[in-house]
Structure 1
Amino acid sequence: MASLETHGRVTVIGSLNMDLVTRAPRLPQPGETLAGHTFAQVAGGKGGNQAVAAARLGAQVSMIGCVGADGNGEQLRAGLEAEGIDCAAVETGKESTGVALIVVDDSSQNAIVIVAGSNGEVTPDTVARHEAAIAAADVVICQLETPPASVHAALAAARRLGKTVILNPAPATGPLPADWLPLVDYLIPNELEAATLTGLPVDSPEDAARAAQALRKAGARNVLVTLGSRGVYAALEQAPASLYDAPKVKAVDTTAAGDTFIGGFAAQLAQGADIESAIRFAQRAAAISVTRAGAQPSIPTRAELNTSA
């Protein structure tokens, strides 16, 4: 269930997937077959993960998305509702529920293949039908696992309605359309996504700084480049740019660490926290998540963060 205190509203527009997760000694090479250690089927999708993270970490959450008329869809919807997430805007489409095929190696790195399924049925009309959920939010989160037209519609609606807008540009395949970034308050890519968006190498915090400044110059108000164990580089509109060091933990599985960060960051912003406090809170949540296996099962609650503080 969601955490004890709930303040601020977050609406997530995005993907809902069933994750099929195997652990293996290492990631396979092309044409190679490996024997895996374990297999699990767990709720996922960047949209679903971020919604669960925001709910567990203190926000009232609404989800806009689409699942299939199948067992996976029923399970995903039930899981969100069990977290206290409003699923009135989760539609049932004609396609099967989206899936993600995930391999996690013994060093806790992962490789993921996504089949969109019903996530591809999230359209601008879907967004328009559920604009009331956007209007009711303090913070709106989008990613790139639904069709680009629907993402742009959500960003535009959130900006028109005066909401704080977070875009997680994942998966990134190239630069974003020029008219998207001015709609975004917080652009949150990881280092690979930042490199893809800018065409610049991002192999160090110094590289992240250059990429972040390029994205701010292109129109994003604030850019947070997540760097895993190296922390978060933040290029901000109203504060000095800074590298926020990550808490030191022993990672077990990095799946959904970024989603946990974004959900926690959004929950804090929705509650009126300042940016620095929101970043630190989200980093602590992400650090706990990587010490556990799985996507949504790894996401901590606000009570756990209060206990570990």
Structure 2
Amino acid sequence: MGSGVRAVLGDVSGEVAVFGSLNADLTVRTERFPKPGETVSGEDLVILPGGKSANQAVQAGLLGARVRMIGAVGGDGHGDLLIESLQRAGVDTAAVQREDVATGTAIITVDSTGDNTIVVSPGANGRVDVSTAQRHQDVIREARVLGLCMEVSPDAVEAATRIAHDAGTRVVFNNSPFHPVLSAGLLEAIDVLVVNEHELADMLKPGMPETAAEPEHERGDDAMDWGDCARRLAAMGIPSAVVTLGGRGSMVIEGKEITPIDPFPADVVDTTGAGDSFLGTLLAALAAGAGLREAARAASAVSAFATTSVGAQASYGDIAAVERHFG
């Protein structure tokens, strides 16, 4: 089963800007997650570079995109770790500012099935604000695609999206960590929304403009009315979306067109950072001129590869590695 990643990305690289978070991931593997009030034993602590936005930047860089990262780290060893990892992937870090606080950290536990829980301490990410977007607006304007998530200030995210929107830079927005209510200014600037099925259902509940939603969503994608989802997203001003479905692949919504994207099989070791790998691949593929469906197919393969080893950035592969894995 070939991945088709090389056919999508080829030798054409595009300009990508990523605005947002950088975290040191402190990971402990354990047989099972503890119950409330319980203590369980784990393996040795592993410290690896992470942060949703930094992960996305690294994956896009490994796939050949010309990536510039905008964010902040502390003046500590964790900050050094993050800067070095970005630079190894070819990411330009000139717009990553050093702050006099600790670098952001994520405390991650991974169980024997590869599932994980994550608690984030923002640290220097809390210093990323509207002025950060304004100070680095040339980086945003010069990019073909801008990637963002919600691990930094919502006001900063909106400011960056508005700069991109006004400049004609394509905005790919990942509503994670999930915010049920987004500002009108942010919504109208989004070109591609990336969420999982549960986040989509929550976005379409009452409280968002002109939307309603079904009850809780422990269900398969065959129970989702995708046409209705597309109409409601359009009413919110969002023209296209990629909805991830875990082990069932993803769904691409472009206007009224709904396209299912099959998953790639993988022997899962650790799912940490797989969603960021997916989004980083989308950024690289879209910047290279791929269509959204092609980009999502490539992202399915690359993110599946990322689950086959431990860590977020540490598990990411370039085109050659993904092609070798899937044959």
Match of 2:157 in 1: 151
Match of 1:235 in 2: 253
In 2, Cα distance between equivalents of 1:216 and 1:141: 20
In 2, Cα distance between equivalents of 1:57 and 1:208: 34
Are the structure 2 counterparts of residues 23 and 221 from structure 1 closer, same or farther at C-alpha, using a change threshold of 3 Å?
same
Output aligned runs, 1:135-284, within 5 Å: 135-199=141-205, 200=213, 201-202=216-217, 203-205=219-221, 206-207=223-224, 209=226, 210-211=228-229, 213-237=231-255, 240-284=257-301
Are the structure 2 counterparts of residues 245 and 228 from structure 1 closer, same or farther at C-alpha, using a change threshold of 3 Å?
same
Q: May I ask how many residue pairs the two structures share in their alignment?
A: 306
Q: Is the 8 A contact 2:143 2:169 kept in 1?
A: yes
Q: CA RMSD in A?
A: 1.8
Q: Is the 8 A contact 1:58 1:267 kept in 2?
A: yes
Matched residue type, 1:258: G
In 1, Cα distance between equivalents of 2:133 and 2:313: 24
In 2, Cα distance between equivalents of 1:34 and 1:211: 42
Are the structure 2 counterparts of residues 98 and 302 from structure 1 closer, same or farther at C-alpha, using a change threshold of 3 Å?
same
Are the structure 2 counterparts of residues 27 and 142 from structure 1 closer, same or farther at C-alpha, using a change threshold of 3 Å?
same
| Secondary structure class of the residue paired with 1:113 | strand
Q: Is the 8 A contact 2:162 2:185 kept in 1?
A: no
Following TM superposition, by how much is the alpha carbon of 1:304 offset from its aligned partner in structure 2, in angstroms?
1.8
Matched residue type, 2:68: S
**Between 74-83 and 292-301, the greater mean CA deviation after superposition:** 74-83
Following TM superposition, by how much is the alpha carbon of 1:300 offset from its aligned partner in structure 2, in angstroms?
1.1
Write out per-residue CA displacement over residues 132-159 of structure 1, whole angstroms, 9 at most, x where no aligned residue: 1112211000000000110000110100
Match of 1:105 in 2: 111
Structure 2: runs of 5+ lacking an equivalent: 1-8, 206-212
Match of 1:44 in 2: 50
Indicate which of 80, 84, 98 corresponds to 2:86.
80
Match of 2:210 in 1: none
In 2, Cα distance between equivalents of 1:213 and 1:43: 39
Following TM superposition, by how much is the alpha carbon of 1:248 offset from its aligned partner in structure 2, in angstroms?
1.6
| Secondary structure class of the residue paired with 1:250 | coil
Q: Do residues 298 (structure 1) and 304 (structure 2) align? A: no
Match of 2:6 in 1: none
| Secondary structure class of the residue paired with 1:180 | helix
Q: Is the 8 A contact 1:182 1:221 kept in 2?
A: no
Q: Is the 8 A contact 1:212 1:224 kept in 2?
A: no
Are the structure 2 counterparts of residues 211 and 28 from structure 1 closer, same or farther at C-alpha, using a change threshold of 3 Å?
farther
Following TM superposition, by how much is the alpha carbon of 1:224 offset from its aligned partner in structure 2, in angstroms?
1.0
Matched residue type, 2:257: P
Write out per-residue CA displacement over residues 181-239 of structure 1, whole angstroms, 9 at most, x where no aligned residue: 221111001233223323343332133735555333311111111111111011112x6
Are the structure 2 counterparts of residues 61 and 208 from structure 1 closer, same or farther at C-alpha, using a change threshold of 3 Å?
farther
Match of 1:21 in 2: 27
Indicate which of 296, 303, 308 corresponds to 1:286.
303
TM-score, normalised by the number of residues in structure 1: 0.94
Q: Percent identity between the aligned chains?
A: 38
TM-score, normalised by the number of residues in structure 2: 0.89
Are the structure 2 counterparts of residues 208 and 254 from structure 1 closer, same or farther at C-alpha, using a change threshold of 3 Å?
farther
Following TM superposition, by how much is the alpha carbon of 1:303 offset from its aligned partner in structure 2, in angstroms?
1.8
Q: Is the 8 A contact 2:252 2:292 kept in 1?
A: no
Matched residue type, 1:99: T
Write out per-residue CA displacement over residues 219-275 of structure 1, whole angstroms, 9 at most, x where no aligned residue: 1111111111111011112x6202212112221111111101111111011011122
Match of 1:63 in 2: 69
In 1, Cα distance between equivalents of 2:146 and 2:74: 24
Q: Is the 8 A contact 1:4 1:303 kept in 2?
A: no
Are the structure 2 counterparts of residues 51 and 6 from structure 1 closer, same or farther at C-alpha, using a change threshold of 3 Å?
farther
| Secondary structure class of the residue paired with 1:241 | strand
